[in-house]
Amino acid sequence: GAGVSQTPSNKVTEKGKYVELRCDPISGHTALYWYRQSLGQGPEFLIYFQGTGAADDSGLPNDRFFAVRPEGSVSTLKIQRTERGDSAVYLCASSLRGAWTGELFFGEGSRLTVL
């Protein structure tokens, strides 16, 4: 597609379960970012990929969170042993060269609710 695609758009799970959120960036974009947005707040940085490698994962809150991008395109954010505090909208963004160019395109997000 023409834009950044995120699936699922909504996910409801129970505390303690495992969750995967998928991001399909714009074709050819080498830079990929994951952000988390809680209600009424701005997005918070989680992790940045340049190609297949995580160039900066300093925003991941703890070791329950992990992200991969094995072929340099699609990325999956994985959350183990989910907690109610993980409930948020998880946003993915991609860029041809990186955020410093200002050309960053966001998906519509995956809304995660942990009961």
Partner 1 sequence: KQEVTQIPAALSVPEGENLVLNCSFTDSAIYNLQWFRQDPGKGLTSLLLIQSSQREQTSGRLNASLDKSSGRSTLYIAASQPGDSATYLCAVTIIQGAQKLVFGQGTRLTINP
Sole binder of partner 1 in the list 43, 67, 90, 114 (CB under 8 A): 43
Dist. CA 96–CA 112, nearest whole Å? 27
Sole binder of partner 1 in the list 48, 75, 86, 112 (CB under 8 A): 48
The torsion angles phi and psi of 100, rounded to 5 degrees, stand at -65, -20
Q: Does 55 bind partner 1 (CB under 8 A)?
A: yes
User: Min. distance of Cβ 80 from partner 1 in angstroms?
Assistant: 24
User: Min. distance of Cβ 41 from partner 1 in angstroms?
Assistant: 5
Check the CA dihedral 26-66-60-64 and report its sign.
positive
Q: Does 115 bind partner 1 (CB under 8 A)?
A: no
Residues ≥6 apart with Cβ < 8 Å to 62? none
Q: What share of the chain is helix, strand, coil (3-state, %, to 5)?
A: 5, 50, 45
Query: Residues interacting with partner 1, by CB under 8 A?
Result: 4, 33, 35, 40-45, 48, 50, 55-56, 58-59, 91, 93, 98-100, 102, 104, 106-109, 111
